[in-house]
Amino acid sequence: MSDSAAPLTTADGVPLKVSLRRAVRRSKFKALLLVSPLLLFLMIAFVIPIFEMLSRSVANPEVVNHLPRTVAALEDWDRQDVPGEPVFEALVEDLLEGQEARNLGLLASRLNYERSGMRSAINRTARGLRTMDPPYREGVIEANARWGELDTWKIIQREARLYTPSYYLAAVDRQLSPDGQITRAPDNLQIHVNLFWRTFWMSGLITLMTLLLGYPIAFLLASLPLRHSNLLMILVLLPFWTSLLVRTTTWIAILQSQGVLNDVMVFLGVIADEARWQMIHNKIGTVVAMTHILLPFMILPLYSVMKTIPPSYMRAARSLGGKPFLSFRRVYFPLTIPGMAAGGILVFILSIGYYITPALVGGQSGRFITNYIAYHMQTSLNWGLAAAIASILLLVVVVFYMVFNRLIGVDKVKLG
Amino acid sequence: MIDTSEAESVASATSDQADAHEIFARFTNVQKSYDGVELVVKDFNLDIRKGEFVTLLGPSGSGKTTCLMMMAGFETPTHGEILLKGEPISGLPPHKRGIGMVFQNYALFPHMTVAENLAFPLEVRHLSKAQTKEKVARALAMVRLEEFGDRRPAQLSGGQQQRVALARALVFEPELVLMDEPLGALDKNLREEMQYEIKRIHASLGVTMIYVTHDQTEALTMSDRIAVFNDGVVQQLASPDELYERPENAFVAYFIGENNRLLGEVSERVGDDCKVRLDSGDTVIAKPVAVGGVGSRTTLSLRPERVSILHGDAAEQFDNQFTATVQEVIYLGDHLRTRLSVCGNDEFILKTPNAQGFGVMRPGQQIQVGWSSADCRALDA
């Protein structure tokens, strides 16, 4: 079995490895054929969109495509003063062509992300070009003062490349100054970092809540006789079979200020009618509803681990002289750590990507970063920024997953 | 020791003779029911002397493990009392009983090393670090696993895990050790090796052991006394040789060792013997053990090695002699098993040593067999 020995061969002299490969090739091909529909589906619906999203978060084609002459003319610009007539001539030609093709809007939005006021600068100037005669420099600057500012040209020159980090910078509340330094965004635009932190700590809190609530239930499930545990399991799974929207809106009915819980509290005299608790459309609402919704994802991995712990371990610990709590702490609890980690990572990853529930019950203060991804996708139409935020979220999930895999092992995640 | 009632009085006489100090553990009239409908253990009585090795032997579901679990404190008796050193222990939780226990699948804690497993019972008793270390080392030496303290249980073989479980049950020096089919998961050779190992440790430490098994060989090899369980009742409580040589009822005879059964009814009692007319019409002289008067049904029990083949001249030795037809001969190396058809029984087994001078028998051959009435026990039907 030493390494220096000649490779093994079959009886007719073919190397054993080659022969083995030949033998399994057919069955491998068959297996591949069987999974190919799913593989194709995953490629189209999952892998390609993810790469599309990743590329969109850095893509920057607008200036290159819509101001080609301007960019060329700016090549030998000294960056000391507003450029001269040739650059303005090129700009006019580019804008005229863009207006003809009716695609100046993309360019206008893109430059507006970098420097406010650029949208109207481009749109208004383009509209007035028909009546303008050369030399253009003064006329264009007169049409909009932005063209007479040095920073405008620096930005145009800077953005004349196909990739940009500015979406990622915007996602963490940073921006590039016209000279290329990374600076903090103005205070009134500091929203994303806070939202990231809020998403993470609230997801952590939700994970902790599901663990505290789920552990005893999983323990009961694993230790009750089959007849009772089956019933309990149905109760655990029942939420899975109910629409997410139904579960979320039910919490609105229970928690709102004219809701069931407040009514009962007022009726019992615990709180005054005019001092009803505000439990929905804020952080409390998000935490309560999401804890409820994600609870099964904690219970099931915990249960699957606890089920494999034979009752004889606890009995052995007791017979060896361990008091009940000590036996639990020293013997049972350490054995459930893989289940807690599996449930924890599952709930945490699910909750940092949760969207509908925070949107419905989170109000302004209980919203997650995902709600801003949706906002940038649907309302502000800044897809680059949405893609950058989503990519950061994806990165965080991948990091958590890798840490988990290193510490516990992914094979421990089982649902029942 | 003629019939059951007398045997019972003998058994109770032994317990009466035993001095109160000598009795270490005692079950009195213990009953157990899980569902309130059926009794798993029906009226269990057992006195265990200090240092004794007692085995509870029986088929699965006979209630033996339940008795062990009641002693350990994991089940509570529905009725009756369990005494340990003269004190009732019903109210005592398992961790205060100070009883060592070896479980069926060892129940070694998988997240602790072997040494940590052994240290657990010492740590919960707040022993000092030095004392713990010393006792763990001594326990490991006792089971000859000195080198394995840092291993995890999963890195050990079945036999080694078994030895660790044994060491863990003994490391805190309990006076009583319970074992619940501890060798069930081992293969045959290892099982025999461990039987001697357990026996050696028992002899050297002098602890009292209660051992549960369904394997009669294991019980016969290791025990001072064996309680044979069936259907929640102790069928016979006796030493191994007593159980084998003088089973008191048909179940014990059937369960311990191999056994030829002949069914019939008592036709006549002659002195200490009785004549039994078999269903085939033949009459056998037997020793009445658990039979009623003339006319009552009985099962005759006869060990296969107590049946001899007759070669003519030695014929006078036996008071039972019959002609048998050879059905099958099985060669087993050191002995031959011959299946005979005799007295209407086609499953009659004859064991003969594979010694020189024994001719090979062929199926269909007619031979003469005989046995002594002293070896033929007339038991309950």
Domain boundaries, chain A: 2-55, 62-164, 192-412
**Taking a contact as any Cβ pair under 8 Å apart, which residues of chain A between 346 and 365 contact chain B?**
none
Contact B166, B115 (CB under 8 A): no
Tell me whether B370 touches chain A (CB under 8 Å): no
Q: Which residue of B has its CA nearest to A311?
A: B107
Give the model's pLDDT for residue B313.
66
Cβ(B165)–Cβ(B102) below 8 Å: yes
Instruction: Specify the pLDDT at position B5.
Output: 45
Which pLDDT does position B78 carry in this prediction? Answer: 92
Please tell me which of the candidates B95, B105, B111 has its beta carbon nearest to residue A335.
B111
**Closest CA of chain B from A313, distance in Å:** 5
Record the tokens describing residue B144, joined without a space. Answer: 């000859």
Task: Give the closest of B73, B105, B124 to A320, CB-based.
Answer: B124
Residue B336: what pLDDT? Answer: 84
Mean pLDDT, chain B, rounded, equals 86
- Residue of A299 and B308 predicted with greater confidence: A299
Q: Please check whether residue A322 touches B, CB under 8 A.
A: yes
- Name every chain B residue with its beta carbon within 8 A of the beta carbon of A310: 105, 107
Q: Is the pLDDT of residue A248 over 50?
A: yes
Q: Does B97 touch chain A (CB under 8 A)?
A: yes
Please tell me the pTM assigned to this model.
Answer: 0.79
Tell which B residues from 104 to 163 touch A, by Cβ distance under 8 Å. Answer: 104-105, 107-111, 120-121, 124-125
> Does the domain made of A192-412 have the CATH classification 1.10.3720.10?
yes
Q: Average pLDDT, stretch A28-55?
A: 92
Instruction: Quote the percentage of chain A above a pLDDT of 70.
Output: 97
How many Cβ atoms from other residues are within 10 Å of residue A208's Cβ? 15
Is A334 touching B (CB cutoff 8 A)? Answer: yes
Chain A residues within an 8 Å CB radius of B74: 315, 318
How confident is the model at residue B11, as a pLDDT? 43
Tell me: the pLDDT tens digits for B326-372?
A: 998 888 888 888 899 988 888 899 888 887 656 677 888 888 888 88
In chain B, the percentage of residues whose pLDDT exceeds 90 is 39
- Residue A180: band (very low, low, confident or very high) from pLDDT cuts 50, 70, 90: confident
- Size of the A and B interface in Cβ pairs below 8 Å: 66
Q: What is the mean pLDDT of residues B1-28?
A: 55
Check whether A275 has a pLDDT greater than 80: yes
pLDDT score of A4 more than 60: no
For B14-22, what is the mean pLDDT? 50
Interchain contact, B121 vs A310, CB within 8 Å: no
Q: Is B166 near chain A, with CB under 8 Å?
A: no
Is the CB of A319 less than 8 angstroms away from the CB of B72?
A: yes
CB atoms within 10 A of CB B124: 18
Indicate whether A358 pLDDT > 60: yes
Band of residue A415 on the pLDDT scale cut at 50, 70, 90: low
> What is the interface pTM, i.e. ipTM, of the complex?
0.79
- The pLDDT of B188-193, averaged and rounded, is 86
- Residue of chain A whose alpha carbon sits nearest to that of B125: A321
Per-residue pLDDT averaged across A126-133, rounded? Answer: 82
Nearest to B111 by CA among A300, A216, A317, A218: A317
Residue B106 φ/ψ region, left for φ over 0, alpha for ψ in the -120 to 50 degree band, beta for the rest: left
pLDDT band at residue A290 using 50, 70 and 90 as cut-offs: very high
Residue A61 has pLDDT above 80, yes or no: yes
Tell me what pLDDT residue B6 has.
Answer: 43
Of A349, A381, A375, A347, the C-alpha closest to A362 is A375
Residue B321 has phi, psi (to 5 degrees) of -140, 130
Mean pLDDT to the nearest integer, A350-369? 90
Nearest to B74 among A315, A323, A334 (CB): A315
**What pLDDT does residue B315 have?**
54
Find the mean pLDDT for residues A234-263.
89
